[in-house]
Every structure is written in C-alpha cells, then in structure tokens.
Amino acid sequence: MDPAPEQPLEPEPGAVLIPAGRMLSPEELFAARSRDQKLPLRSHGQKVFLPDGSEAQEEQLRLCRQELWTLLAEERVERRGSLVTAEWSPQDGVVTLKSFAGKFWQTMGFSEGGQQRLYPEEALYLLECGSIQLFYQDLPLSIQEAYEMLLAQGTKGFLKYQVFSHLKRLGYVVRRFQPSLVQSPYERQLNLESGSIWSSEKCHGKRKRRHSSPWSTDKKPKVLENPLPEVVGTAESQATSSQYAPSQNSRSLEEKPQESSHVEDPGGSSWPPESPGQVPGQTDPHGRTLKGRGGSQDTATDDNGNNSKPRWDFEKIAFPNMACDRRHTLLLAPAPELLPQNVTAREIDAAPWCQQLNQRKEKLSRREREQQRGTTPFRSDVNADPEVQRCTSWRAYKELLKRRWQQKAWNQPPNLWDQPVTPLLTPGQAASPDLMNLSQTCAPSSGCPSRVGMFP
Amino acid sequence: MLLVEVKAGQALVWGTEAARTLRERLGVGGRPVGSLARGPRQNARLGLPLLLLPEEARLLAEIGVATLVTAPRPNPGQQAQAVAAYHREQESGFREQRALASEARRRRLKDLEEHIAEARAKKQRGRGRSSKERREVGGGAFGGGAGSVCPCSNFPSPQPGPQPPFPETAMLVQLPTARPRPAWARPLDWHHPSPDWPHAGNPSHELRYQVYKDLWERGYFLTSGGKFGGDFLVYPGDPLRFHAHFVAQCCAPGDSLPLPDLVSAGRLGTNVRKTLLLCSPQPDGSVAYTSLQWAGLP
C-alpha cells in the first residue's frame, strides 16, 4: 500500500478520517506461509472466582489476553491461484464468479444465464473463509467493506448473516428457503418427486426471484425435514381459498387468475380446467383476496418462463365432484387468458360421459364386506356380556362359569366332565381279554354317549 | 481517539489495537462475531469484527474515549486513483515476493549444501566398490542413504543455475479485514434517534444504560446476559479469567414484577451459581440493587 496515502479533500466539515486498516508488507506476506495453523485452547487453567491481585492471576490474564490479540490480529493470506475471483453487483444483489468455482460449488451458489452466481451471504461467508476474492468496481473488497455493502438490509441482514455463518461453520448446508421446494403431504403421498431432477441432491439450479430482493426469504437448513411455518413469498396454493367447494354456486369470471393453478395440472387431463360448479340461477361473486390473485399471476408467468414444476396444495383445491352422489356435470369454459398458447378449451356437459361409466355395483367378497362393516359376524366379545363385566376378579369369573355350566348341564354327572381324562386302556394293555369285561362295567348313562376305546 | 463505526444500530470494531485498548484499559469487552482468520470453519473462537452492545458504545461516546461514526460513503472521484494505486502495489508486491522466493530458495540450497556434498561423495564411493558388494551392502545403505537425500539429488549444482519461475498464481495476497484505504465519515449524533442509531430515546435502552454505567463505574466488567436469561453478566474482572458473580436484570422502578418471573429468574441464576441482581435506576440518578440468592446452597 502506498505509504503516504493521498488525503482526499474533506467532503464536509466535521467529517472524521477513518484510518486504513493494517496492510501486510511483502515480507510479512511471505512469512505468513509458515505461521502456526493450530488453534490454541482457550483456557490457561481453570477460571477463578475472586480476583485477589496476585502475580499468578495477573500472569495468567496476560497470557490469555496476549493469545487473544495474536489470534485477532492475524490477517488472511492466501495464494492467488487458490482464490476464485468474484464480482459484486448491487443492482442484481448477487455475486458473479469470474473464474471457476472451487469445491464450495457443490453446496452453494446457483447458475443463471450461463454464469455462476452466489448469494450475498454465501459470498461473504466464503470471503471470510478465504476462498474467494470479491471485487467491486475493479477493487478488491475488504471484509469490513463487504459487510457494509452486502448486508445492506440493516440489522435484519446482519442478524440473518450471523445465523447463516454460524450454521455454516457448524458444517451444515444452508440454503434459502423456497416454499416450492418443500413437498406437500399430498405430493409425498403420490410420490410425485421420485423421478424428477428436483429431488436430486446434485441439483444446482435455483429459481431466480425476479420480483423480490435477495433477502426476502427465510433460510432453512437442508437437514430439517419440516418446512418453516411461515411461508414467505408467493405460494400458489394459498391463492385458492377453501371456499372453493363445488357445492358453491358462483360463476366467478372475475376470479379466473386463481385458476392459473389448474392450468399446469400434472395429470395432464383432457378435462378443461376446473371452474366452480354452476347451479343455474345463482351468481354470487365471492370476495377473494387481491393479494392471492396478484401473487398467482406472478408465479404463473414465472413458472412458464422457467419450466419449473408448480407445487399445489391439493387439499385446498377443490375438484368438481362427478360421482353419482352429488353429480356436478356442467363444466364451464375457462378464461382464455389463462391457458397456454396452443390449448383451446370449451364448455362441456359431462352427463353423457358419466352415463357411459360402469355403474354396476361392485360385488365384494365376504372378507371385503366384513371389512367395510367393521365387524366379524361370528365372533362375540366375552367382555360384552354384562354379567362378565360385573365380575371383579378372576375367581368371581370362574364361579360365574361354574354357575352357568351347572344350569346348562344340571343333569350331567360332573365326575365325567371335570376330571382329567383317564383312558381305560393304555397302549400296553391292549391285548388282554379281561378288558372286554372292563368295558361293560361302566354302564352308559342316559346323557353320555357310549364311548369306549376298543382296540382290536 | 478511537473510532467506532455504527450501522443500523450495530456498533462494530474492526481493529485489533482498538479492541485491545477497550478491553485492557477501559474494561469494555465486546463480543467477536466474525470468522477467525486462522480457523474460519469453527465456532469455538470467533474473530473480528467485535460487536459492542449499544450501552457499551454509548458509554464510550459519553466519556469521550471514542467517536461514533456512520459508515462512510464511497467517493467516486477517488475510484480511478485507487484502482491505479492497487495495481501498482500488486505489481511491486509481486516483484518483491519473487525476489524473496528466490532468496529463500538460495538460502535453503546453501543450508543443504553439506548434505548434497555428502550424498555426492557417497555416490562416488559406492561406484568405486565392486558391484557385488554394492548389491549386498549398498542395497540397504544405498537405498537408505539415497532415500534421505533423494530430494537433493534433484537439486542443481551449488552454483545458482536457472531457477524455476515464480508464477503469478503463487503470489500471496492479503484479504484485508479492515478498510484498506482511509475514508471520511460523518460522526453520529447518538442523542437523537436515526436509522443508524435507533436506540436513542428508547426507554428500555435508557434503563439498561443507566444500570450499565453504574456497574461499570463500580469497576465491574459487563457482558451480554443472554446466555443466562438476564440483561448483563457482571464479572469482577476480565471474563477470560474470572467467573461471573451476578446476572443483572433491569427493571423499571414502577413496573410490577410477577412472582413466577422472579422465581424463574432466581432459579436460573441458582443453577449456574450466580446471584440474581435486580437493578432499578431511581429518578435521582442512583441505581437500587436487590440481590437474590438461594439460601439452601452452600
């Protein structure tokens, strides 16, 4: 640096000259190649509770402080070949890379118009790490100047950058929050993302937000699964309100912008886009929010320009119910300004189509019928019996069983049923003729079937 | 006179010397919030800039030790001059570095001259012996000897031969932390609120400032108390070596203090073995303190 800097004229009275920061001489730069890279531990022994003015404490404090100043005073020195050149453009609010990106390109930055770009917070973080050299109007920016220029949103920008850099230093991959990149539960159900490039980890492209400043979105680390509760920016799904049930009776020609969401139906159905059902005779306009309308229009143009997939909240979009219970078959023509260029649509009465559908009742198997009914017919629950419910213990239950059996089988001798089974014959005794007599000694009682095991 | 640049209510100190003066002579610590140059990818130790609390910045301005200034606007007239100066400086720096590199290389060669000579002598001796012996003995020794001086064998002779060129990509460049060129800035009037200093007139700021000033004048070292749920942490000396004694909580004199809040603040303080200090600036300028300590703990 020029040792005698030219003092510019005072632009205004009372202005104060801020001196330049420390610039290293070539010798110091050269000597910085071989400086210590290790981070010393913070403590020189345990902290103490009371200061007692002793020499030992003073010495410890001096050592700690010296170490702190040494660390803080070190300047960043890098080889020019390992620095990526980057240029800050305040109009776009992004940093453009002028030479090829290094390893950080895998997780940071985006491509736009054939150029590699970085968001301001990413560029600032990389500058602090010593990976890039940031230029503005052909002069390299120091970290202080970069803080002032890139975090131009005041306290909010500064705090956001602190959060961002903290998470990056911990090792996370931190990207700007985009509501469109978060899958809705319905999409997850459909498994909509299984084949698309957007779900790939290697995707670098990001949607450029032409209509909002770079700091308007929230950040979301990639490790978190659940989206942040507040969704900043235009969310197309929120444009369609829940009042959109088919039983409503409004012909909403003035609400056509809301239907832009249906233009790019991923199913690619041949039906014309949905419009609320019309029961003849009632034309109640509903008040919709203007904000939603403007928002969805913006995103419609944005999407068409960028070939990106819309993310719709299918739980809020109401499709006409054409089933047999509440048939709504007259579908109105959509507004032509909502459709893409080559597509024309007309009004359709779907009644003849519905008649051609298979209207026969489905024949269910017994198991399916049972499933639908929710019960199994032959099984009865023991606990449903009120007498059983009145039993308070297992002993009481056993007594209840005994009582019931006695009532049922009062004329059957208990000795035949309650005792363990004792066969008259064992396998070893099979061949003796005395056994024939044995079998005749027990006279079959009236209720007992004559059942004697006889072996040949 | 120290200069503290203020932007959007944040007062940042970018120079190590200034930070040192503040901490060692004035007992105003600040908190480093930037990446450390030596290890930018860790959170244990952070580096410049130093973030000062609004109360700290105001105290420095009040006692006249520092001037609060707003960020300077760039001067377009100086742009071309600055660019030319930068390029000149880069070129001269590059030439000097190249000279330094060749000098360093020469010195290294000289230091290793003896090793080179030794290796050469060994080589000669090895060739002089019979091939059989070389294979038996020299196989190991030769390999070891050759291995230890292997880099030297690639060196040119001790006379300075053609040195490999020092490419531009090997040039070392500094990424400066603070502003590399002096700039003019307007002093900030911290008595009145402005976009850069929204704290003036803010009743909570005034409250905390009175407490901060009073404690600072008594010799304590104060830092931000967000860690333990208070407004300030009060240290008897430098936080590098001492534990905090109090967690200071500022309350306005007329405000009611709900009992659950009191209990929770007390418990927080107790759990970390610090006394809770309730501070209330009185209308006459002094500050009334009430300390809470759990009686049951030793």
pLDDT tens string, chain A, 456 residues long: the values are 444 444 555 567 778 888 888 888 888 888 888 888 888 876 677 888 888 888 988 898 999 999 999 999 999 999 999 999 999 999 988 999 999 888 999 999 888 888 999 999 999 999 999 999 999 999 999 999 999 999 877 778 899 999 999 999 999 999 888 877 777 888 888 877 666 555 444 334 443 333 334 444 444 444 443 344 333 333 333 433 333 333 333 343 333 434 433 433 443 344 443 444 443 434 433 333 333 333 344 434 444 444 455 677 777 777 777 777 767 778 888 877 878 888 888 888 888 887 777 777 778 888 788 777 776 667 777 888 888 888 899 999 999 999 988 888 777 776 666 677 777 777 777 666 665 665 555 555 544 444 444 444
| Closest residue to B83, CB basis, from A127, A130, A138 | A138
Give the start-to-end residue ranges of the domains of chain B. 1-71+182-201, 76-118+164-176, 203-288
Give the start-to-end residue ranges of the domains of chain A. 80-176
Contacts with A107 from chain B: Cβ below 8 Å: none
CB atoms within 10 A of CB B148: 12
With a CB cutoff of 8 Å and minimum separation 6, the contacts of A4 are: none
Using CA atoms, how far apart are residues A235 and A217, in angstroms rounded to an integer?
A: 12
Using CA atoms, how far apart are residues A254 and A316, in angstroms rounded to an integer?
A: 19
B54-62 and B203-217 helices cross at what angle (nearest 10)?
Answer: 60
With a CB cutoff of 8 Å and minimum separation 6, the contacts of A252 are: A258, A275, A276, A285, A286, A288
- Residue of B110, B132, B235, B289 marked catalytic: B235
Using CA atoms, how far apart are residues A196 and A306, in angstroms rounded to an integer?
A: 15
With beta carbons less than 8 A apart as the criterion, state whether B37 and B174 touch.
no
CATH number listed for the domain at residues B1-71+182-201: 3.40.1170
With beta carbons less than 8 A apart as the criterion, state whether A427 and A421 touch.
no
Using CA atoms, how far apart are residues A20 and A116, in angstroms rounded to an integer?
A: 32
Whether residue B55 lies within 8 A of chain A, CB to CB, comes out as no
> With 70 as the cut, is the pLDDT of residue B190 above it?
yes
With beta carbons less than 8 A apart as the criterion, state whether B187 and A14 touch.
yes
Stronger pLDDT, A364 or B181, i.e. the higher one: B181
Whether residue A61 lies within 8 A of chain B, CB to CB, comes out as yes
Active site residue B243: yes
Helix (H, G, I), strand (E, B) or coil at B280: strand
E strand or H helix that includes residue A190 = helix A185-190
With beta carbons less than 8 A apart as the criterion, state whether B246 and B277 touch.
yes
What is the C-alpha R_g of chain A? 41
Look at residues A439, A436, A402 and name the one whose alpha carbon lies nearest to residue A417: A402
Cross-strand partners of A132: A84
Residue with tokens 């498994």: A191
What does the pLDDT average to over B58-81?
A: 88
What does the pLDDT average to over B14-29?
A: 92
Question: pLDDT value at position A252?
Answer: 38
Which B residues in the span 62-101 are in contact with A, Cβ-Cβ below 8 Å?
Answer: 67, 69, 71-72, 75, 77-79, 81-83, 85-86, 89, 93, 96-97, 100-101
Cis status of the peptide bond prior to B40, with omega within 30 of 0: no
Using CA atoms, how far apart are residues B263 and A60, in angstroms rounded to an integer?
A: 37
Look at residues A381, A96, A154, A338 and name the one whose alpha carbon lies nearest to residue A236: A338
Look at residues B222, B273, B219 and name the one whose alpha carbon lies nearest to residue B250: B222
Question: pLDDT value at position B298?
Answer: 60
Number of A:B CB contacts under 8 A?
A: 244
Contact B100 A30 (CB under 8 A): yes
**How is domain B203-288 classified at the architecture level of CATH?**
3-Layer(aba) Sandwich (3.40)
Strand spans (E) along A137-263: 139-140, 174-176, 219-221
Stronger pLDDT, A70 or B155, i.e. the higher one: A70
Using CA atoms, how far apart are residues A49 and B237, in angstroms rounded to an integer?
A: 10
Paired tokens of B294: 């759990």
Q: How far does A377 lie from chain B, in Å, by closest CA?
A: 59
3-state helix, strand, coil in chain B (%, to 5): 45, 20, 35
One-letter amino acid identity for B247? V
Greatest Cα-to-Cα distance within chain B, rounded to the nearest angstrom: 104
What is the C-alpha R_g of chain B? 32
Using CA atoms, how far apart are residues B42 and B45, in angstroms rounded to an integer?
A: 7
Paired tokens of A88: 């800050």
Stronger pLDDT, B259 or A30, i.e. the higher one: B259
Greatest Cα-to-Cα distance within chain A, rounded to the nearest angstrom: 139
Contact A71 B38 (CB under 8 A): yes
Residue with tokens 């002089």: B128
Angle at A325 between CA A321 and CA A327, to 5 degrees: 45
Active site residue B132: no
Question: pLDDT value at position A375?
Answer: 65
- DSSP class of B28: B
Question: pLDDT value at position B136?
Answer: 56
Using CA atoms, how far apart are residues A331 and A349, in angstroms rounded to an integer?
A: 6
| Closest residue to B172, CB basis, from A5, A60, A77 | A77
Contact A83 B83 (CB under 8 A): no
Domains B1-71+182-201 and B203-288 are alike in CATH topology: no
Looking only at the bridges linking them, the beta strands covering B10-13 and B47-52 are antiparallel
Alpha helices in A25-153 (DSSP H): 26-31, 55-73, 120-129, 143-150
| Closest residue to B181, CB basis, from A20, A27, A71 | A20
Angle at A429 between CA A425 and CA A431, to 5 degrees: 115
Contacts with A143 from chain B: Cβ below 8 Å: 34, 48-49, 175-178
Using CA atoms, how far apart are residues A11 and B181, in angstroms rounded to an integer?
A: 16
With beta carbons less than 8 A apart as the criterion, state whether B224 and B218 touch.
no
Contacts 24+ apart (CB under 8 A), A393-401: none
CATH class of the domain defined by A80-176: alpha beta
Whether residue A90 lies within 8 A of chain B, CB to CB, comes out as no
Q: What's the Cα-to-Cα distance from A373 to each of A36, A323, A377, A384, A402, rounded to whole Å? A: 77, 22, 10, 19, 35
Question: pLDDT value at position A203?
Answer: 38
Find how far residue B105's CA is from the centre of its chain: 33
Q: How far does A217 lie from chain B, in Å, by closest CA?
A: 20
With a CB cutoff of 8 Å and minimum separation 6, the contacts of A380 are: none
Using CA atoms, how far apart are residues A331 and A367, in angstroms rounded to an integer?
A: 39
Using CA atoms, how far apart are residues B31 and B46, in angstroms rounded to an integer?
A: 9
E strand or H helix that includes residue B44 = none
Round the average pLDDT of chain B to a whole number and report it: 85
Q: Buried (b) or exposed (e) across A424-434, using 16+ Cβ within 10 A? A: eeeeeeeeeee
